[in-house]
Amino acid sequence: MLLSMLAGFPVRMLQILSGILIVPLAYRYLGAERFGLWSAVTALTSILTLADFGIGNGLITTISAATGREEPERIRRAVSTAILIVGTIAAALLVALALLTLLGDWARWLNVAGTSAAGDARPAGALCVLSALLLLPVSLAAKIRTGLQEAFLNSAWDAAGVLLSLGLFVAAIRLDAGMAALAIAVGAGPVLAALGNGIGLLRRQSLRPRWSAVDFEGFEPVARLGLLYFALACAAALATAADNLIAIRLLGPASAGSVGIAAKIFGAAQAVVIVALMPLWPAFGEALARGDHRWARHALWRSVGLSFGISLLGAGALLAIANPVIGLWLGQGTVLPVGLLVANAVWLVLQSVGNVFAMLLNGAGVIRFQIAVSLSYAAVAVALKFWLASRLGIAGIVWATVASYALLLLPLYVRYALRYLDRVAAAA
């Protein structure tokens, strides 16, 4: 866990630095309206990571539990079957993308018809989706490594992908290649890095997929678990990942740009916290499989304290320097509403604490409960977004998420996680 955390921090900082460089370059090159479109279409990629129907996340829990029980053959069967299924899903979606690209009105869908961004909607949107779909099967390598508690090796490949994308992005702007080329630049790095990671991982004989190891019947528990993770991720995406798309539909492309800039700033801090928390998932899974509930409880509370303290300091610092830095970053006169910044700061702290409990529940395979709670939270959050956006503007979109998370999801997660550990201890 410590090695994965220490290896992840410099890579995450590299990703943050890359974002700090890319946003002003894109903003100045594209202008406000086209940058709003850029924020919306790049948001599509985060939503499309759900298209593996949770199989990747199901692998993490399955592999970590199989490691704790010393079942290497179960790991091989799960890996072989997952690669075949996700590859088939990606191929089917690529055919659907081709049809939508030929027949669909992307400018109308993204609410930029009649603006300077209209001509970029189809090529940029299609290329962002293409990159996300190509990433689906090759990104399984990172999930497999995470389940094996080798996330530190993912970090090296992630760093290579970030550097490649940044270099291609700068080159595309210098060549005045247009928004479509920027989409290619951003998507190429992660895809090629994930491919390299997969080739390196599958050189191991014990993990190399084989037709003889494909076991659909034996994969059924992994698929069921994956579908549960899929439903859980859909609920989370409904509540947060669609903010740019909601903003561009309700308030226009310029507002979507502001939401995207604020999310980029505070999301960078959240990404650092996630680096520290992600190794908890397989570690909790293995500890609970071995019956080590004392370690799980100790790790839970220590992680909550560290996550709260670090995120609170980070949120306060970002809130203090955000607008002055944005002025230097994107040019004088570029200022985000204070309400939007405060909402993002509060969201950073709440999500950092809540994710610790989510990692315990993920490791324990407690997914149905999370789905029920998350769907309720997402439904309330989306309804509030439409209502608060009309009253508070773009800040209302984020405040809706904050209110729903704080009043509904977080208290229920805490209560369930503590009761679960009590039951495990009593059973032991």
The predicted-structure confidence for 286-326, as pLDDT tens digits, reads as follows 888 878 888 889 989 999 998 899 889 888 888 888 777 77
Pull the structure tokens for residue 388.
Answer: 């608060």
pLDDT digits (tens, 9 = 90+) for 22-59: 877 888 888 877 887 887 788 777 777 778 888 888 88
Assign 249 a pLDDT band (cuts: 50, 70, 90). Answer: low
Q: How high is the pLDDT of residue 171?
A: 93
- Total residues found in the chain within this entry: 428
Give the model's confidence band at 114: pLDDT under 50 very low, under 70 low, under 90 confident, else very high. confident
Least-confidence region, from 38-47, 69-78, 98-107:
38-47
Range of the domain at 41: 2-427
Is residue 70 exposed (0-12), middle (13-18) or buried (19+ Cβ within 10 Å)? exposed
Mean pLDDT, rounded, for 139-148: 86
d(CA 279, CA 277): 6
pLDDT at 347 over 70: yes
CA–CA distance, 349 with 356 (Å, rounded to integer): 12
User: What's residue 195's pLDDT?
Assistant: 92
How does DSSP assign 346-414, residue by residue?
HHHHHHHHHHHHHHHHHHTT--HHHHHHHHHHHHHHHHHHHHHHHHHTHHHHHHHHHHHIIIIIHHHHH
Question: Residue 225 and residue 231: Cα distance in Å, rounded?
Answer: 10
Report residue 274 as tokens: 């996630």
- Lowest-confidence region among 123-127, 230-234, 275-279, 325-329: 325-329
> Distance between CA atoms of 351 and 344, rounded to whole angstroms?
10
pLDDT score, position 416? 93
What's the rounded mean pLDDT across residues 164-187?
Answer: 90
Average pLDDT, integer, range 201-217: 78
At 244, the pLDDT band (50, 70, 90 cuts) reads low
Give the pLDDT of residue 77. Answer: 84
Using pLDDT thresholds of 50, 70 and 90, give the confidence band for residue 150.
Answer: confident
- A 10 A CB-CB count for 407 gives 11
- Residue 355, pLDDT > 80, answer yes
pLDDT of 147 strictly over 90:
no
How far is the C-alpha of 249 from the C-alpha of 252, rounded, in Å? 6
Least confident of 131-135, 199-203, 248-252: 248-252
pTM summary value: 0.64
- By percentage, how much of the chain surpasses pLDDT 90? 16
In the predicted structure, residue 253 carries a pLDDT above the cut 80: no
How far lies 412's CA from each of 160, 339, 364, 371, 405, in Å? 39, 27, 16, 12, 10
Residues 6+ apart with CB under 8 A from 391: none
pLDDT at 184 over 70: yes
Contact between 43 and 245 under an 8 Å Cβ cutoff? The reply is: yes
Record the tokens describing residue 258, joined without a space.
């502001």
Predicted confidence band at 193 (pLDDT cuts at 50, 70, 90)?
very high
Burial of 119 (0-12, 13-18, 19+ CB in 10 A): middle
What's the total number of domains in the chain? 1
CA 422 to CA 428: how far, in whole Å? 10
Lowest mean pLDDT of 43-47, 124-128, 220-224, 370-374, name the range: 43-47
- Mean residue pLDDT of the chain comes to 82
Buried b (16+ CB within 10 A) or exposed e, 71-108: eeebbbbbbbbbbbbbbebbeebeeebeebbeeeebbe
- Tens of pLDDT, residue by residue over 259-290, are 777 777 777 777 777 777 878 888 888 888 87
pLDDT exceeds 90 at position 367? no
